[in-house]
Amino acid sequence: MHQIPQPMLASSVASIPDPAKTPGGLAFEPKWDGFRALVAFDGERVEIGSRGAKPLTRYFPELVAAFARSLPEPCLIDGEIVVPRGAPGTQRLDWEALTQRIHPAASRVALLSEQTPAMLIAFDLLARGERDLQPEPFETRRAELVDLLGEVPHPVHVTRTTDDPTVAERWLAQFEGAGLDGVIAKPLARPYAPNKRAMFKIKHARTADVVTFGYRVHKSGSGVGSLLVGLYDGDGKLWNVGGVAAFTDKRRRELIDELEPLVVRDDEGAAVTGETEKSRFSGGRDAGFVRLRPDRVLEVRYDQLEGRRFRHTVQFARWRPDREPASCTYDQLETVAAYDLGDVLV
């Protein structure tokens, strides 16, 4: 079995890059919002590696069975595991269902593999048979990928690509409605570069004004690790919408002092609706937080909303002392038109 490498990564850019400015040109792909997966198949056994240290094989038995049954020869595939939801014509990616698939109990894993089956979106081929394709340019690897997997049935899909930046712009606008989160641009002439940011990612960048209702202490035990932020619905109910992190050491310590006047006892804090539990990938970290009076407003940068929460950790932009907390409502957020996942897979 081929050794699973670290995946090739992408650097963020503000807009669709010009292919003419990259030697050899660019290929554009939808950016699938799931679990990065490197699938190794030796003709009998299957292993699924992730971007981090956690192997994914045991969590997706339905994919392991499908790969062993359908992959035509030994190979090493780079792709994304996603879970769809909804009926044909109204399908989109379901991030919450995907995260639930990471469960310690084998019985639960087996049940979820039937209730919320996953699929693999393949976008690169690193080995085929005994051949290592990583030194080959992406243009060659892509052709090999289509040749190998083009006729393989669901749940294996080969992502679509285009060399037209105008089409990529349209994908960036439309495919978010199916739960995707941007576009990837890959230099056609470059070899595979494990753990290197050799691609480009273009994601939506938006801002919102939110109210902070608490914070978690940094894992080091010193300073604010993340601010918990919320938005009000039309009934005046405050919902937890996510966290703001990535502060410097100095700024984390400063925030402790700045927020001290807002700290309240648990029975005095404002009621907040929505989950504040730890992630399944949090390694058992304490999910507790210091509750604050929801009096301070901040502006954050975010990419998209998943249900009532921001899909990813948001970025701090600035404090907004000019805004009243009650004005931080869902109404300010951009509404994205629905788009059928099936039309993205075509």
Marked catalytic residue, from 31, 196, 201, 250: 31
Architecture of domain 9-203: 2-Layer Sandwich (3.30)
- Per-residue pLDDT, averaged over 40-58, amounts to 91
H or E segment and range at residue 12: strand 9-12
pLDDT recorded at residue 246: 83
DSSP code for 20: G
The pLDDT tens digits of the residues spanning 81-121 come to 999 999 989 999 998 899 899 999 999 999 999 999 999 99
201 classed as catalytic: no
Six-digit token pair at 27?
């290929």
- Say if pTM beats, i.e. exceeds, 0.75: yes
Query: Is a pLDDT exceeding 60 seen at residue 276?
Result: no
Q: In 153-205, at which residue ranges do the beta strands (DSSP E only) sit?
A: 156-158, 183-187, 197-202
Q: Which residue has the tokens 């998209």?
A: 304
Is residue 261 reached through a cis peptide bond, with omega within 30 degrees of 0 on the bond before it?
Answer: no
DSSP code for 116: S
Report domain extents, the chain.
Answer: 9-203, 206-332
Rounded CA-CA distance 346/343 in Å is 5
Confidence class for position 333, pLDDT limits 50, 70, 90: confident
Give the CATH fold of the 206-332 domain.
Answer: OB fold (Dihydrolipoamide Acetyltransferase, E2P) (2.40.50)
pLDDT recorded at residue 280: 39
The pLDDT tens digits of the residues spanning 283-328 come to 434 457 899 999 999 999 998 888 889 988 889 999 998 788 998 9
Rounded CA-CA distance 123/73 in Å is 17
What is the overall mean pLDDT for the chain? 90
The pLDDT tens digits of the residues spanning 202-213 come to 988 788 999 999
The pLDDT tens digits of the residues spanning 162-173 come to 999 999 999 999
